[in-house]
């Protein structure tokens, strides 16, 4: 069993729960998978702070380190629980999102966010950065034309430049020197031939997550295995920080919640998601039973998580 080691002490990483708080985004990426089917016309939970808090409390009561009925007990070991807020673009709802982070910290979660960073100015960063373990930023090209082709621009045709992004990251790091920076890149039909060396060199992430575009909803911008492999091989100089996720690696290996407070999973072999009932209606334990989550799949992405020996 491999764990992170600091000064000879084994350190388990946290369990990660990804809550996609909204499907709204100011960009329009053609491959965007942030679309969920609502069973009925319900507002996204983020707009109701009291119910958002209830959801987080229910999750922590089920998966927190002291949880008596943790369904993952005996299946994997971890230190604490990290809540990753994602979207859509979570900071479209700047105040709600920042308040939610304070609530989640109070409950006991570590926090990370996945954002396109376009709405994170210095004022937001001052409030956000001290609360974050990981700042995750999606960067799919260093080239303005390619960002346009992907759809990574707002309604006015504006995308964050690499220079702007560098400044925001520098601000986050100066406010919270312990913050970890993760860059997420979705490799797709428009960027698989791009050389990211300069962009990654400028941003200096602690981790660079390279994901093959996932046909979760649409086949837009899909690439072949050979094209994905070529992208990865071109960037082998970054292998120490790069973690590569092909489509199979993304199936059942994430613990994910949609904007309506349901667990969901990527379907196997066909586009779309499978959903649980809403967690606030049936309880977190019952909802969790309704989806498939693979501890071994999770571990393969976080190789320092411990799995018990199976007899």
CB 25 to ligand SF4: min, Å: 3
The verdict on 35 binding ligand SF4 (CB under 6 A) reads no
The verdict on 205 binding ligand SF4 (CB under 6 A) reads no
The verdict on 55 binding ligand SF4 (CB under 6 A) reads no
The verdict on 185 binding ligand SF4 (CB under 6 A) reads no
Binding piece for ligand SF4, criterion CB under 6 A, among 27-35, 120-128, 187-195, 233-241: 27-35
The verdict on 34 binding ligand SF4 (CB under 6 A) reads yes
The verdict on 298 binding ligand SF4 (CB under 6 A) reads no
Binding piece for ligand SF4, criterion CB under 6 A, among 9-17, 29-37, 96-104, 270-278: 29-37
CB 304 to ligand SF4: min, Å: 27
Do the bridges between strand 110-115 and strand 207-212 make them parallel or antiparallel, or are there none, so unpaired? unpaired
Binds ligand SF4 (CB under 6 A): choice among 5, 10, 28, 292:
28
CB 295 to ligand SF4: min, Å: 27
SS (H, E, C) the chain: CCCEEECCEEECCCEEEEEECCCCCCCCCCCCCCCCCCCCCCCCHHHCHHHHHHHHHHHHHHHCCCCCCCCCCCCCECCCEEEEEECCCHHHHHHHHHHHHHHHHHHCCEEEEEECCCCCCHHHHHHHHHHCCEEEEECCCCCHHHHHHHCCCCCCCCCCCHHHHHHHHHHHHHHCCCCEEEEEEEECCCCCCCCCHHHHHHHCCCEEEEEECCCCCCCCCCCCHHHHHHHHHHCHHHCCCEEEECHHHHCCCCEEECCCCCEEEECCCCCCEEECCCHHHHCHHHHHHCCCCCHHHHHHHCCCCECCCCC
211-250 footprint of ligand SF4 as x/- string (CB under 6 A) = ----------------------------------------
CB 89 to ligand SF4: min, Å: 5
CB 224 to ligand SF4: min, Å: 21
The verdict on 27 binding ligand SF4 (CB under 6 A) reads yes
- For residues 88-147, which are near ligand SF4 according to CB under 6 A? 88-89, 116, 138
Residues in contact with ligand SF4 by CB under 6 A are: 25, 27-29, 32, 34, 87-89, 116, 138, 152
């Amino acid at each position: 069993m491999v764990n992170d080691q600091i000064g000879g002490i084994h350190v388990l990483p946290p369990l990660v729960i990804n809550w996609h708080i909204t499907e709204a985004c100011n960009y329009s990426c053609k491959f965007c998978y942030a679309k969920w089917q609502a069973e009925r016309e319900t507002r996204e939970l983020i707009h109701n702070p009291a119910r958002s808090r209830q959801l987080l409390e229910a999750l922590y009561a089920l998966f927190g380190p002291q949880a008596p009925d943790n369904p993952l007990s005996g299946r994997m070991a971890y230190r604490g629980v990290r809540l990753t807020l994602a979207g859509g673009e979570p900071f479209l709802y700047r105040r709600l999102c920042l308040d939610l982070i304070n609530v989640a910290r109070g409950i006991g979660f570590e926090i990370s966010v996945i954002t396109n960073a376009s709405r994170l100015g210095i004022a937001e960063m001052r409030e956000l950065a001290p609360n974050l373990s990981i700042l995750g930023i999606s960067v799919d090209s260093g080239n303005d034309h390619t960002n346009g082709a992907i759809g990574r621009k707002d309604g006015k045709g504006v995308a964050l430049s690499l220079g702007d992004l560098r400044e925001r990251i520098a601000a986050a790091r100066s406010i919270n020197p312990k913050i970890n920076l993760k860059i997420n890149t979705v490799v797709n039909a428009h960027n698989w031939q791009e050389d990211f060396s300069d962009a990654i060199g400028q941003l200096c992430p602690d981790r660079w997550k390279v994901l093959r575009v996932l046909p979760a909803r649409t086949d837009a911008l899909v690439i072949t295995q050979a094209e994905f492999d070529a992208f990865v091989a071109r960037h082998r100089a970054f292998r120490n920080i790069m973690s590569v996720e092909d489509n199979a690696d993304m199936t059942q290996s994430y613990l994910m919640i949609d904007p309506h407070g349901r667990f969901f999973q990527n379907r196997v072999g066909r586009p779309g998601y499978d959903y649980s009932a809403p967690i606030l209606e049936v309880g977190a334990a019952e909802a969790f039973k309704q989806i498939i989550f693979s501890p071994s799949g999770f571990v393969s992405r976080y190789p320092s998580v411990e799995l018990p020996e199976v007899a």
